[in-house]
Amino acid sequence: MSRKTKKDEQLYAVIGLGRFGFALAEELASKGKDVLVIDKDRDKINRAAEFTDNAFVTDVLVADNLADAGLADADVAVIGIGSRIDVSILTTLNVMKLGVKRVIAKATSKEQGEVLERLGAEVIYPEHDMALRLAGRLASPHILEYISLSDTVDIMELALTPRVDGKTVLELNVRRNWGLNIIAIRRGGEVTIAITPQTEVHAKDTLAVVGKTEDIRRFEEYLHERD
């Protein structure tokens, strides 16, 4: 029986309601997404039932139990089981067998991640990724947000300074001067992505840029240099 509430709405399944899984499911639900959650802990399922009608207690994550919970209807399944490597791998395999279009699995080690990738899952390393983001922010107090795309390419959100107040994007010309691309400007509570050469930036704005790590650092140094 289909668990979807709307014909064209995607169903997101989260298996394993640890801190990562529960926070993910709750946030998806808060954004109006149709969420299905599965865990062996009844207390966690009772808490999850406050934000989704599709909350199921399952002691053994075999394919039949997952199918009974409606997992075959999911468009995306996120497996938040990281510490029990054997359970993580077997659950991922069973979810793949049910034909879920997109399977994302949490891993706590490179070796675990390699096995999950071989099964066909997208692999995430939440603790590792969070550590990288925090390290990037701690290493430079002027960086407000940090996302590593590779060993050499990052997205960073930087606080602008009076040095660039009132300049247009064309005058700032971060592409020519630092090899960067602007992807968004945040002003107060609003974010602008429709950026033209005539768009002005101001000292209290934050600028999201993508580019090589070393080039972003050079731009950051420029913003905080004294004229």
Architecture of the domain defined by 130-224: 2-Layer Sandwich (3.30)
Say if pTM beats, i.e. exceeds, 0.95. no
In the three-class reduction of DSSP (H, G, I as helix; E, B as strand; rest coil), residue 203 is classed as coil
- pLDDT given at position 157: 87
Domain ranges of the chain: 11-124, 130-224
Q: Which residues contact 186 (CB under 8 A, 6 or more apart)?
A: 157, 192, 205, 206, 207, 208
pLDDT on residue 132? 62
Whether 73 has a pLDDT exceeding 90, the answer reads: yes
What is the pLDDT averaged over residues 4-16? 76
Q: What is the CATH number of domain 11-124?
A: 3.40.50.720
Mean pLDDT of all residues in 60-85: 89
In percent, the amount of the chain with pLDDT more than 70 equals 85
Say which residues have a Cβ less than 8 Å from residue 52's Cβ, sequence separation at least 6: 25, 29, 34, 35, 36, 37
Longest dimension (CA), the chain: 68
